[in-house]
Amino acid sequence: MDKIYVDQMEFWGYHGLFPEENKLGQRFYVDLELELDLKPAGESDDMAKSIDYGAIYEVTKKIVEGQAYKLIETVAEMIAHQLFVEFPLLEGSLVKVYKPDPPIPGHYKSVAVEIYRRRTT
């Protein structure tokens, strides 16, 4: 399957279990791996046969910077769902949401969740 990658999109959101996270907000990163047939776009040089990267970014931004959720699992599900709604050519999506500064003790680069979803008919 052909893929479009959009990596390390950075956003400011208010997701988390703790009141401080919902009030102060924090950074979130999102990686997307989107599956679709890119051959028609490649052969025709027609954007209508692919997915606009800027539109992908805007859909993701609206979710991450919008309504606050307790879990980044929910953020990932909302992104995957909305991508299928907005882009009918999309066949599969791998969504990874990173939370680099969670309020938990320890030394690590980030915590993250990754989900894979396929379009259902």
Catalytic machinery residues: 99
Q: Residue 34 belongs to what H/E stretch?
A: strand 26-35
Pair 59, 32: CB distance under 8 Å: no
Rounded to a whole number of angstroms, the distance between the first and last alpha carbons of the chain is 18
Report the candidate in 48, 44, 40, 56 with the shortest Cα–Cα distance to residue 4. 56
Rounded to whole angstroms, the Cα distance separating 44 from 38 reads 10
What sign does the dihedral 6-118-48-56 (CA atoms) show? negative
